[in-house]
Amino acid sequence: MREYKIIRSDLGWNIYKKKEKDWLISVRFLNWNGTWCLNKSYARTFYNREDAVSALTIMKVKDGKETD
């Protein structure tokens, strides 16, 4: 199960993905080159919430295609 969220950071907005499988929980942040990273300091910062929402929609579609 995946859960995507947009969170408020110091400068703007960040996107993260939380994935649960059995007892293991993984949290990854969206990086500048469109990949997911573990480190929050490398996360991409969006200055408008609307930009973050559109990027989240794109990443949901990309993740859906990779799992199929």
Provide the residue ranges of all domains of the chain, joining segments of one domain with +: 2-67
pLDDT-derived band at 66, boundaries 50, 70, 90:
low
Mean pLDDT of the chain, nearest integer: 90
Q: What is the mean pLDDT of residues 54-59?
A: 94
Q: Quick: pLDDT tens for 15-47.
A: 999 999 889 999 999 999 989 999 999 999 999
- pLDDT for 64 equals 80
Whether the CB-CB separation of 26 and 37 falls below 8 Å is answered with no
Whether the CB-CB separation of 37 and 31 falls below 8 Å is answered with yes
- Residues 17 and 56: their CA atoms lie apart, in Å, by 10
Residue 8: enclosing H or E segment and its boundaries?
strand 2-8
pLDDT-derived band at 2, boundaries 50, 70, 90:
confident
